[in-house]
Amino acid sequence: MTNSSTPLALLGGKRACEQSWPAWPVFDNTERTMLSDVLESGQWWFGARVRAFETEYAAFQGARHAVTCTNGTTAIEMGLRALGVVEGDEVIVPPYSFIATASAVVTVGAIPVFADIQPDTLCLDPDQVEARITPRTKAVIPVHVAGCIAAMDRITPLARRHGLRVLEDAAHAWGSQWKGRGAGTLGDCGTFSFQASKNITAGEGGILVTDDEELADLCRSYTHCGRLKGAAWYDHGVLGSNLRLTEFQAAILLAQLTRLESQTLRRAANAAILDQALAGLPGVRLLAPTPAMTRRSYHMYVFRVDEQLLGLPRQRFIEALNAEGLPASVGWYRPLYANVVFRQAHQGPAHGIRSPLANKGVDYRSVSCPVCEQVCRDAVWIPQQVLLAEPEAIHQAAEAIRKVIRHAGKLRTA
């Protein structure tokens, strides 16, 4: 631990974090062997390994069924279509998320309606959801940001009262649990991503989990060119696409899944070290998930800073953390409605890519979600691979944050 008088690294002092952080992705001979087996088998297409991964991942999340697909974005699109969302329907989404949460709604012809988030979880606020329900509302997409499960104990009953479907965007929530139940099993269905930065990855890939067999069968047909269960190969009973995962991806994911439980527990244990070390620090606000969330996957560790209390801009605070050897960032989220595709949605002419919402009577220029906007100004993200380090390194990370706060006055005058 550094002495309280140790100068900031940004001002020429010694770094608080001297070690290298774990690389991502993590892999070993398990992946090599399984990939080689696929290569040598000549069976590269959708087959036994895909089915095995679907079975094992469904069991990991506590779901009855799972359907793989090309990525997390197409998983959301597939889920919305299977839930009956069609042209002109409204789907309530949070603005603090990756663009796919809202763009998938547009892709299926529906209209995203943005509802604000809760300041202590960064997830969808049920009160804001209720205020935005109209006769055109068909579904709600709660996003489990950074593995923190949204207020599903309020969102799901609210949706049921209004006859709405619930699709959980669980792209950060592999292994997260609510009262012992896995993310993705708390609504009608849930979708996950296996993109390169994710806690379990094959470079790309996605999956939908559900307890509804009919919904799962419909999703399978959609990914499989519209083929229905038991139908002849060239019979196409429903509208479909080609979203199938390959055997190579499934092999990698099967290998990755063998580590996911232990990695999830390590991330949670290291996050607890940070929580304890940072609690009560001036200018630092930790997230406060409900106790009903019994396990969290931590796709990133997020806290918020009060620039006024720190007397320091967030960007300068992060520069100082980086100089101390801690890879913190502002994150990559900004309010989704600030993106051009939504900000200029009222402008025509209509075009399937450039202006897909034109002529649909929507105008997002007046949309404002104040909590989301403030979070985008004050959140600090630490990537998930940092939480795979040894506990001593996590204590050093905590000391880096404390050190910058202690010396904030020097940064103001430097």
pLDDT in tens, 255-271: 999 999 999 999 999 99
HEC assignment per residue over the chain: CCCCCCCCHHHCCCCCCCCCCCCCCCCCHHHHHHHHHHHHHCCCCCCHHHHHHHHHHHHHHCCCEEEEECCHHHHHHHHHHHCCCCCCCEEEECCCCCCHHHHHHHHCCCEEEECCECCCCCCECHHHHHHCCCCCEEEECCECHHHCCCCHHHHHHHHHHCCCEEEEECCCCCCCEECCEECCCCCCEEEEECCCCCCCCCCCCEEEEECCHHHHHHHHHHHECCCCCCCCCCCCCCCCCECCCCHHHHHHHHHHHHHHHHHHHHHHHHHHHHHHHHCCCCCEEECCCCCCEEECCCCEEEEEECHHHHCCCHHHHHHHHHHCCCCCECCCCCCHHHCHHHHCCCCCCCECCCECCCCCCCCCCCCCCHHHHHHHHHEEEEEHHHHHCCHHHHHHHHHHHHHHHHCHHHHHHC
Question: Is residue 281 domain-resident?
Answer: no
pTM of the model: 0.96
Question: Is residue 362 domain-resident?
Answer: no
Question: Is residue 246 domain-resident?
Answer: yes
If phi > 0 it is left, if psi is from -120 to 50 it is alpha, else beta; for residue 236 that is beta
Q: pLDDT tens digits, residue range 119-151?
A: 999 999 999 999 999 999 999 999 999 999 999
Residue partners of 42: CB distance under 8 A and separation at least 6: none
pLDDT number for residue 412? 77
pLDDT number for residue 357? 97
Question: Is residue 154 domain-resident?
Answer: yes
Which CATH number do you get for residue 130?
A: 3.40.640.10
Residue 403 annotated as catalytic:
no
pLDDT number for residue 410? 87
pLDDT number for residue 321? 98
Residue spans of the chain under pLDDT 50: none
pLDDT number for residue 3? 56
Question: Is residue 244 domain-resident?
Answer: yes
Q: Tell me which residue range forms the domain holding 58.
A: 29-256
Question: Is residue 344 domain-resident?
Answer: no
Phi first, then psi, for residue 18 (nearest 5°) are -95, -20
Question: Is residue 17 domain-resident?
Answer: no
Q: 203 vs 76, 90, 112, 174, 190, CA distance in Å?
A: 18, 32, 28, 16, 20
- The answer to whether 170 and 293 are in contact (CB under 8 A) is no
Count of domains observed in the chain:
1
Question: Is residue 306 domain-resident?
Answer: no
The catalytic residue among 14, 138, 198, 360 is 198
